[in-house]
Chains A and B, each alone.
Chain A
Amino acid sequence: MNSCADDCPCAAMTTEKLTLHYGATAAFRDVSLEIPRCEITALIGPSGCGKTSFLSSLNRLTDLVPSCRVTGRITLGDLEVLAPDTNVVALRRRIGMIFQKPNPFAFSIAKNFALPLREHGVREHAEIEQRTEAALRDVGLWDEVRDRLRRSARTLSGGQQQRLCLARALALEPEVLLLDEPCSALDPISSAKVEDHLQSLKGRFTVVIVTHNLAQARRIADRVVFFWADESGGRVVESGPVDALFEDAIDPLTQAYVRGQHG
């Protein structure tokens, strides 16, 4: 069930010379990365350097943007993500994604889980309930909502909504979780709670998180990828283990950025 149980040292996902264009403009170019299994990889860098676009290309959410063109190669295990015959519905079951703003669906908490689970073939009521509960426990929301699973998910606070979205993704038992600044729209206390639960997921899922909060990246990430944008679009300047990148970055751009000198 869990991809991290076998402790395989190989990368969960890789990209090779990945380039993304919106119309004629490149969002990022030639990104070749290995995303290690069961670790947290943080993408840092100034706004507009292609981090979010990179994240969305990994589960082919970029397919939904009409002018968007992705070239290069992405693999998830043996799967060629960008191949035209790849089943994107199945792909997105394996790769969960959480957005900047929490967006629970406008119906009950229970149905927020039941809808995607049913879509992916989980039909039995008991299994839906059991997976909902397990996912809600994983994000520490179960005790807060167990008595109001029939209430609208939009009645929850912002922080609770974001944890609900995280749980909704976890209920599908994905291999990889993509997080696009999941804490940036939350107050510090809610943000800390979400971050705590991300920490607790470490080792169970492969996580890729975009964050503008360098302290957060340093606290939770195993590896850090530094994006930077110049005239020709975004690119990866440097990547490596979190301590190496924050303590002895090789590139002067990285050194300056992690010291908070620009960006």
Chain B
Amino acid sequence: MTPRSDRPVALFVLRSCALGTITILVLIVAFVVGESVDVLRNAGLSRLWTDPTWHPASKTNPTFGAVPMIVGTLFATAGAVVVALPLGLLCAVFVNYHATHTLRRLVNGVIELLAGIPSVVYGLWGLTTLVPIIAMIRGPGTSLLAGILVLALMILPTIVLLIDQALREQPAELALSAAALGLSKSRIIWSVLVPSAWRSIGTASLLATARALGETMAVLLVCGNAIKTPTSLFDSVRTLTANIALEMAYAMDTHRSALFASGLLLLGLVGLLIAGIELLERRVRT
């Protein structure tokens, strides 16, 4: 127990840290909004999806149609979650209920390592290994599919670690009472334990979605970056994040502002995901 006299100091430090974090976040959002104001006032956010093309740098008739990039972002993200979620769930179930103690520690170690690899390295691996393989099936190789697979690999550790933790937190009595009713091991796992953890599995998916949504470097390297709404998995796509990274270096005035507006859009999407997580968590507590 901390002596009473120390508490005001500790409390002050903690409060300052918390306040500082909130302030920085608010400032960042304010900055992004501020930088977007130009395009928002002159063109409006809705032109991101109503304009037919993306020519924000045009002097005479700038257009801000970001639909191909919004679609590319959503497809890449959703595809990655669809691939990674079942894999992650199977992996978490395996390490929890089937692996020996040593194997479990090994797998967990590898997964933690996987989480620590810089995203540019994933991108390089994708570009030199995955893209040529996809190109053998159908060109050009740099494609939505490559983006989905690289993103899936990147969000896999998040999903495995969160689901693994959720399964480990299930009370031991739950498995025992299921076994006492004569349920088989696979029935206990898939019909009792996994459904009991569905909220945490939901949270894991949403966090992974947020991560995939914001990922830039790896998708930039493997997606081909053509501004075109994809019609197949083998089409080249550009995501909003890749677009910002590619164009920010030379963007000026309204163009620059339009990039910030697309950043604002991403921020809004992540905000929605976090709200979704909050809703899930709240229902756990009640």
Contacts and interface: CB of A to CB of B under 8 A. Distances in A.
The listed residue with most B CB atoms (<10 A of its CB), out of A59, A97, A106, A178, is A106
Interface in A132-181: 165, 168-169, 172, 178
B173 interface: yes
A165 B177 contact: yes
A88 B185 CA distance: 11
Question: What's the interface size class on A, roughly?
Answer: 20 to 34
B137 interface: no
Interface string A86-119: 0011111100110111010111000000011001
Given A64-B179, A92-B179, A115-B191, A103 B184 contact: no
Contact of B173 (A88, A90, A101, A168): A101
A64 B176 contact: yes
Interface in A64-93: 64, 88-93
B107 interface: no
Interface string B110-144: 00000000000000000000000000000000000
Contact of B196 (A100, A105, A116, A168): A105
Interface string B166-183: 000001011111111111
A172 B192 contact: no
Given A105-B192, A105-B196, A106-B195, A99 B176 contact: yes
Interface in B184-200: 184, 187, 191-192, 195-196, 198
A227 to B, nearest CB: 21
A116 B182 contact: yes
Given A89-B184, A119-B184, A105 B176 contact: no
A92 B187 CA distance: 15
Classify the secondary structure of B's interface with A. helix
Interface string B66-105: 0000000000000000000000000000000000000000
Question: What's the interface size class on B, roughly?
Answer: 10 to 19
A17 interface: no
B183 A115 contact: yes
A96 B176 CA distance: 12
B199 to A, nearest CB: 9
A192 interface: no
Nearest to B199: A106
Contacts of B183: 89, 115-116, 119
Contacts of A91: 182
The listed residue with most A CB atoms (<10 A of its CB), out of B177, B179, B182, B198, is B182
A61 interface: yes
A60 to B, nearest CB: 9
B181 A172 contact: yes
A105 to B, nearest CB: 5
A142 to B, nearest CB: 20
A107 B195 contact: yes
The listed residue with most B CB atoms (<10 A of its CB), out of A96, A99, A100, A116, is A116
A61 B179 CA distance: 7
Contacts of B182: 88-93, 116, 119-120, 172
B195 A103 contact: no
B124 to A, nearest CB: 43
Interface string B30-51: 0000000000000000000000
Contacts of B191: 105, 115
Contact of A105 (B174, B179, B180, B184): B174
A120 B196 CA distance: 22
Nearest to A87: B182
The listed residue with most B CB atoms (<10 A of its CB), out of A59, A90, A105, is A105
A61 B176 contact: yes
A49 to B, nearest CB: 20
A190 to B, nearest CB: 18
A59 B180 contact: yes
Nearest to A154: B196
A61 B187 contact: no
A64 B188 CA distance: 13
Interface of A: 59, 61, 64, 88-93, 96-97, 99-101, 103, 105-107, 115-116, 119-120, 165, 168-169, 172, 178
5 contacts: A92-B179, A93-B182, A99-B176, A105-B174, A116-B183
Interface of B: 171, 173-184, 187, 191-192, 195-196, 198
Given A106-B196, A172-B181, 9 more contacts: A90-B182, A92-B180, A92-B182, A96-B180, A99-B173, A100-B173, A107-B195, A116-B183, A119-B183
